[in-house]
């Protein structure tokens, strides 16, 4: 009888240990993790270059593990130079090749949906599906 309980316990432990800890909805493609800078725009397509970190006084984004996101953008509504930038924190997830992002901005919360066209170790190309800016109450 004790052997049967021991066998059941070992089987349960084996199933729990094999649980998938790398949820693709959070980690996405490994190449995506990191900082992306120097965006160039063509219609609704954006090309980024991989950076070792975000560049001072320039727009950029960072995808961190565990679904964390940072966007360096204007700190206020005015876009007239000199523009002050700030890092806004948010979250991201990925399903198939679509990235969903929620990030704070000076007026509230931005919600982005981008489709990854391609990602390599040094280039990221996305198509903007939607970008909504929700004002804080």
Half-sphere exposure of residue 43: CA atoms within 13 angstroms, side-chain side: 2
Q: What is the pTM of this model?
A: 0.78
Contact 29, 43 (CB under 8 A): no
Does the domain spanning 22-135 belong to CATH 2.40.128? yes
CB neighbours of residue 105 within 10 Å: 20
pLDDT in tens, 95-119: 999 999 999 999 999 999 999 999 9
Q: Is the pLDDT of residue 82 over 60?
A: yes
Q: How confident is the model at residue 126 (pLDDT cuts 50, 70, 90)?
A: very high
CB neighbours of residue 50 within 10 Å: 17
Domain boundaries, the chain: 22-135
């Amino acid at each position: 009888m004790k052997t049967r309980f021991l066998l059941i316990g070992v089987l349960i432990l084996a199933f729990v240990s094999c649980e998938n800890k790398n949820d693709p909805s959070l980690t996405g493609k490994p190449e995506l993790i990191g900082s992306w800078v120097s965006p160039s725009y063509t219609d609704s397509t954006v090309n980024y270059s991989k950076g070792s970190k975000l560049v001072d006084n320039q727009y950029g984004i960072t995808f961190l593990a565990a679904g964390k996101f940072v966007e360096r953008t204007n700190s206020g509504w005015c876009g007239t130079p000199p523009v002050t930038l700030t890092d806004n924190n948010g979250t991201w997830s990925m399903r198939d090749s679509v990235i969903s992002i929620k990030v704070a901005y000076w007026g509230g919360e931005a919600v982005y949906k981008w489709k990854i066209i391609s990602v390599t170790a040094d280039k990221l190309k996305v198509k903007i599906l939607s970008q909504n800016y929700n004002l804080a109450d």
